[in-house]
Amino acid sequence: MRDAVQLIQNARRVFAASHIDHDGDAVGSLLGFAHILRQLGKTVTVALADPVSWRFEHLPGAEKIHAVKPSPDDDLLVSLDASEFNRLGAVLTPNDLAGRPLLMIDHHITNSRFGTVNVLDPTAASTCEILYSLAQALDVPLDPTIATCLLTGVVTDTLGFRTTSTTPRSLEVAQALMHAGANLSEICQRAFNSDTYARLCLTADVLHRMTLDEGVLWSQVTLDDLRRLGVPYAESAGLVGYLNSVREARVAVIFRENEDGRIDVSMRSKPGISLASVALALGGGGHPQAAGATLPPPMNAARERVLAELHKLLAGTTVSA
Ligand code: AMP
Ligand code: MN
Ligand code: MN
């Protein structure tokens, strides 16, 4: 953390980015970080490869997020909530580094420490939880704007403080963020109790065609489904949680056909079953209970490969129900 503080203090113009297929922790950490640095008088550009989802567009500063690359004047590059460099997508590629320092801030256990300086804490339930400590280390007081962005990541990555990754620290941070002016119920409402009609139709299809295969409950989404129902690809994430709620499922998986034809794999597991090794074997990453990977097409081949890996994992794991 000390090296990170020094890098930030020495910077004038900062370029910050978060991961493709963004979630609440990606957007919350990106915006929270930018607001913290602006308190220090820094100029900050915020970038995401994909347009900001309606779920997060109300967050303060979300309108300033664009799919832009760093300018030659930026003297510090920052990666937030990304386990691998290539998860930043088109906004930051190796050519963009140009000898500049890259500050990497993340909480994925599979993180490859790709930064010049790495703030990696796999015990943190969200990147936003780490940023709370960073704000303290930088002596930046929390205001309602910073607190709202950070609490969004804390709440979404813990699914409302329900995941195995949630610790007393997550709750302490949330408490401090509420004291600083963040509205917990409003954040929960937008994150968990808000959907579109088209997306609920997609959910119905995904549930209708789910298959339980020896402890693995899986389903899939094709580009045809998305076109037929009018759901943008970026809005098709987050359905795997329904499958994982099933008692008989030790692991839940959703296969999604991406716009570039590749297959995005979202996996969830019950406590006691770690997906980290399977995710790494598939070239992906994530957390023990929530991981993913992106595989080449076709869908059937990707599915067979993942299901084989998961059955191998389950054959070597005993879990008490
Ligand atoms: P998701 O299922 O998309 O919500 O992702 C669950 C977790 O797995 C997140 O922490 C992601 O960062 C990680 N993850 C998902 N897809 C990939 C991927 N293609 N490569 C690396 N990590 C991934
Ligand atoms: Mn994330
Ligand atoms: Mn995260």
For the segment 76-130, what is each residue's pLDDT rounded down to a tens digit?
999 999 999 999 999 999 999 999 999 999 999 999 999 999 999 999 999 999 9
Query: Can you tell me whether residue 246 is helix, strand or coil?
Result: coil
Question: The pTM is what?
Answer: 0.93
For strands 263-269 and 285-286, give the pairing: unpaired
Judge whether 50 and 30 are in contact, CB under 8 Å.
no
Mean pLDDT score of the chain, rounded to an integer? 96
Question: For residue 320, what pLDDT band results from cuts at 50, 70 and 90?
Answer: very low
Mean pLDDT of 269-286: 96
For strands 102-106 and 117-120, give the pairing: parallel
Domain ranges in the chain?
Answer: 2-192, 197-315
Check if 2-192 and 197-315 are the same fold.
no
Judge whether 233 and 269 are in contact, CB under 8 Å.
no
Ligand that comes closest to the CA of residue 109? 1
Identify the pLDDT of residue 193.
93
Q: Which CATH number does 2-192 carry?
A: 3.90.1640.10
Burial (Cβ within 10 Å: 0-12, 13-18, ≥19) of residue 263: buried
Identify the pLDDT of residue 321.
36
- Provide the residues around ligand 3 (an ion) whose CB is within 5 A: 25, 81, 126-127, 157
Identify the pLDDT of residue 318.
53
Judge whether 78 and 16 are in contact, CB under 8 Å.
yes
Atom of ligand 1 nearest to the CA of 267: 2
Residue of 83, 157, 163 best suited for mutating to test ligand 1, as the one with most atoms within 8 Å of CB: 83
Atom of ligand 1 nearest to the CA of 266: 2
Distance from Cα 11 to the centre of ligand 3, integer Å: 25
Identify the pLDDT of residue 67.
98
Q: Count of CB atoms within 10 A of residue 251's CB?
A: 28
Judge whether 130 and 124 are in contact, CB under 8 Å.
yes
Beta strands in the chain (DSSP E): 13-18, 43-47, 76-80, 102-106, 117-120, 211-213, 216-221, 251-257, 263-269, 285-286, 290-295
Q: What is the rounded distance in angstroms from the CA atom of residue 294 to the CA atom of residue 101?
A: 28
Residue whose CA lies nearest to ligand 1 atom number 11: 286
CATH of 197-315, one of 3.10.310.30, 3.30.56.10, 3.40.50.1820, 3.60.40.10: 3.10.310.30
CA 304, 241, 145: angle at the middle one, nearest 5?
130
Checking if the pLDDT of 317 tops 70, the result is no
pLDDT tens digits along 174-189: 999 999 999 999 999 9
Atom of ligand 1 nearest to the CA of 283: 20
Residues in Cβ contact with 156 at an 8 Å cutoff, skipping those fewer than 6 apart: 23, 24, 25, 28, 126, 191
292 touches ligand 1 (CB under 6 Å): yes
Atom of ligand 1 nearest to the CA of 82: 12
83 touches ligand 1 (CB under 6 Å): yes
Least confident of 28-32, 201-205, 235-239: 235-239
